Amino acid sequence: MHLATPYSRPPVTAEEEAYAFLLDAICTGRFRTGDRLIAEEIATDIGMSRMPVREAFRRLAAEGLVNLRPNRGAIVSGLNLEEMREVFEMRSALEGLAIRLAVPRLNERHLNRLERLLDEMDECRDDSAEWIGRHRAFHLYLCSLAERPRLLRQIGALYSVIEPHLRLWLQHVDKPLSAREEHAVILDALRTGDAAVAERVLCEHIEGTVPSLLEFLEATGT
């Protein structure tokens, strides 16, 4: 099952099922950077024909998650340091836009839901894989409140690209998984009702991750 968001609809076509399977496998590290994906083998594993799997490959390639090779299937992509920096810059810009649009629409129910999502992150602080899924859910739920479906899809695609790297990072560094204080600051900014303040706080939160993550990737050569 794909970890994208708790409010995304389930796959309804064979292509969507193949895409969800592959996306989850890449994001959770079952398929790693450099792995070769063979349509025939994957189709057999999930019980469908090759064509939907090949269509899923094309969709993943458009999102930067795989590289298509003629007659060789697909190769799982990784990000170099500059590409990783660019993805975080894009996240900052797009999530900043989303939160700016969302703030005028927020009500107490939305804020309570965000608070519960933070509680769920705390509950799985000892499980880095589960924590990353809950962290993603928090950010994407917040961005969904902008009510801009295309914008949300773009933001979700960026999370898919960086998630394998984040999982590896959190498995190997001494970083507290709670991060409650960092995210509570975002909630405090939302409660001010000032869209500019909320956007600034969120962007600082996103950009603050970059130095440590890039240092880890450079040190490990991943």
CA pair distance 211, 145, nearest whole angstrom: 29
| DSSP class of 188 | H
What phi and psi, each to the nearest 5 degrees, are found at residue 34?
Answer: 95, -15
Residue 180's identity, in one-letter code, is R
In this prediction, residue 126 carries a pLDDT of: 76
Q: Which of 77, 3, 2 is nearest to 37 (CA)?
A: 77
Q: How far is CA 220 from CA 28, 154, 160, 211, 212, in A?
A: 19, 28, 21, 14, 12
Q: Which runs of consecutive H residues, i.e. helices, occur in the chain?
A: 14-27, 39-46, 50-62, 81-102, 108-123, 128-144, 149-172, 180-191, 195-208, 210-220
What is the rounded distance in angstroms from the CA atom of residue 205 to the CA atom of residue 200?
9
pLDDT at residue 97, as a whole number = 98
Amino acid at 73: G
CA distance 207 to 204: 5
Closest CA to 206 of 113, 138, 122: 138
Q: Coil, strand, or helix at residue 178? A: coil
Helix (H, G, I), strand (E, B) or coil at 128: helix
Q: How far apart are CA 30 and CA 169, in angstroms?
A: 16
**What is the 8-class DSSP label of residue 12?**
-
pTM assigned to the model: 0.76
What's the Cα-to-Cα distance from 164 to each of 93, 110, 132, rounded to whole Å? 21, 29, 10
The count of other CB atoms within 10 Å of the CB of residue 102 is: 22
- Domains assigned to the chain: 14-76 (1.10.10.10), 81-220 (1.20.120.530)
Contacts of 173 (CB under 8 A, 6+ apart): 212, 216
Supply the pLDDT for residue 27.
75
Residues of the chain with pLDDT under 70: 1-11, 172-178, 220-222
